[in-house]
Amino acid sequence: MARISAVLFDMDDTLIDWSRAEGDIAAIEAKHMANVYRHLADQDHVLPPFQSFLDQFHNAMVNAWTEAKKSWSGVSFGSLLRDFLATCGLDTDKIDLEAVMQAYNWSVIPGVAPFDDTLFVLAQLKEAGYKIGLITNAMQPMWMRDIELRAFGILDYLDARLTSGDVGFMKPHPFIYHRALELLDVAPEAAVFVGDRPANDIAGANKAGLISVLISPPHLNRDLADTRPNYTISQLTELLPILAELEGDT
Ligand SMILES: [Mg+2]
For the chain, domain boundaries: 6-18+112-246, 25-104
Task: Answer whether residue 1 shows pLDDT above 60.
Answer: no
- Ligand 1 centroid – CA 198 distance (Å): 10
Peptide bond into 172 cis (omega under 30): yes
Which amino acid, residue 236?
Answer: L
Q: What is the mean pLDDT of the chain?
A: 95
Cα of 187 from ligand 1 centre, angstroms: 23
Please name which of 3, 140, 170 lies closest in space to residue 71, comparing C-alpha atoms.
170
Rounded distance from Cα 88 to ligand 1 centre (Å):
32
Alpha-carbon gap, residue 188 to 181, rounded angstroms: 7
Residue 250, pLDDT above cutoff 70: no
What pLDDT score does 156 carry? Answer: 98
CA of 171 to the centre of ligand 1 (A): 10
Return d(Cα 126, Cα 129) in angstroms, integer: 5
Residue 43 CA to ligand 1 centre (angstroms): 37
Kindly give the distance from the C-alpha atom of residue 10 to the centroid of ligand 1, in angstroms, as a whole number: 6
Summarised one tens digit per residue, pLDDT across range 222-239 is 888 899 999 999 999 999
Element (H, E) at 231: strand 231-233
Contact call for residues 192 and 172 (beta carbons, < 8 A):
no
Q: How far apart are CA 201 and CA 205, in angstroms?
A: 6
Total-model pTM: 0.95
Residues in CB range of 9: below 8 A, 6 or more apart: 15, 132, 133, 134, 135, 193, 194, 195
pLDDT grade for 217, boundaries at 50, 70 and 90: confident
Of the pLDDT bands very low, low, confident and very high (cuts 50, 70, 90), residue 195 is very high
Report the share of the chain in percent with pLDDT over 70: 99
Measured CA to CA, the distance from residue 182 to residue 188 in angstroms comes to 9
32-38: long-range contacts (C-beta < 8 A, 24 or more apart)? 32/104, 32/105, 32/106, 33/57, 33/104, 35/103, 35/104, 35/105, 36/81, 36/100, 36/103, 36/104, 38/103
**194 CA to middle of ligand 1, Å?**
9
The CATH code of the domain at 6-18+112-246 is 3.40.50.1000
Burial class (CB in 10 A: 0-12, 13-18, 19+), 148: buried
- Quote the ligand 1 centre to 84 CA distance (angstroms): 27
Question: Cα–Cα distance between 109 and 125 in angstroms, integer?
Answer: 27
pLDDT of the residue at 2: 67
Q: What is the pLDDT of residue 220?
A: 79
Phi/psi-derived region of residue 32, left when phi > 0, alpha when psi is between -120 and 50, beta in every other case = alpha
**Pairing label, strands 211-215, 16-17:** unpaired
Over residues 88-102, mean pLDDT: 94
Ligand 1 midpoint to CA 87 (Å) = 31
